[in-house]
Amino acid sequence: MKHKVGITVTLVVCAGFIVLYALEPPRALMGLSRITRLLAIVVGSGFAFANWRRLDRDDPNRTGWFLLGAWLAWFLAGELALEAYRRLRGTAPPLPSVGDIFFLAGYGFLVAALVRFLTNWRASGFPLGNSRKQAMLALTVSLALAILNFVLLRPIALAPLPLGERLITILYPILDSVILVPTMILLGMVLHFRGGRVWAVWAALLAGIGFMGASDIAFAYVSSLRMSWVMPLLHVTVIFSYIFCALGAFEEWVLLSD
């Protein structure tokens, strides 16, 4: 029952934001969007840490869930730092800002979590695919993202913008590209569990991470071309990333509770 409730709530909230952004001016929805992001991060981090506490100390996946919880906690600190600029100073956050310190630190925990899970799954003994094919997938994804980043980020690197703004705008897509490589490998492994409870956990979690990576890369592209009309779609994508990560952590908590 809890499993179905989590999926239903997620789909309803996501569908609601699609309708709202289609009908209302994006500026009118910014406050609601920021609150939703914060709530989703709090829920996701809370359940990730709950999963860490619930797993046995000798469970190899225990550390991975702690790292996922830490990633979301650092991102929560980053979102709160950005909100402090708006509420306390009455200005839009600069680029770079204090929030970027927390976001960049969070990426380190996310990379560590993905590597941890990837290592554990390979050592589990389950039939999760051919190692050679996974290596080829990693190489293909890496090359594709490298070419994409070169094409998209070169105009930003050469743009007449402050050095700090250029560096931070370039850094996020590169970090997201690093994250998307193990994410794609894990997704290939998870496909072997299609239809099961493990699939529900990891399909949601990896979808959230994928949404985050895609939104940052797309943001760099949109910024370089001044395509402001695409920004509402990117706001929705960021919301989806946090919501689906929260759903994945919740699904794991339900699975461990049964």
pLDDT at residue 217 is higher than 90: no
Predicted pLDDT at 126: 67
Predicted pLDDT at 3: 58
Q: How many domains does one find in the chain?
A: 1
Domain that holds residue 153: 2-257
pLDDT at residue 74 is higher than 70: yes
Lookup: tokens for 196: 């099961």
Predicted pLDDT at 231: 66
Q: What is the average pLDDT across 128-143?
A: 83
Lookup: tokens for 3: 């499993």
Express each pLDDT in 177-209 by its tens digit: 999 999 988 888 888 778 778 888 899 999 999
DSSP code, position 96:
S
Q: What is the average pLDDT across 10-18?
A: 79
Q: Assign 3-state DSSP to the chain and report helix, strand, coil percentages, each to 5.
A: 85, 0, 15
Express each pLDDT in 75-132 by its tens digit: 999 999 999 998 888 888 888 899 999 999 999 999 999 999 998 888 777 666 777 8
Per-residue buried b or exposed e for 208-229, using 16+ beta carbons within 10 Å of the residue's own CB:
bbbbbbbbbbbbbbbbbeeeee
What share of the chain has pLDDT > 90, as a percent?
37
pTM exceeding 0.85:
yes
d(CA 205, CA 201): 6
pLDDT at residue 243 is higher than 90: yes
pLDDT at residue 218 is higher than 80: no
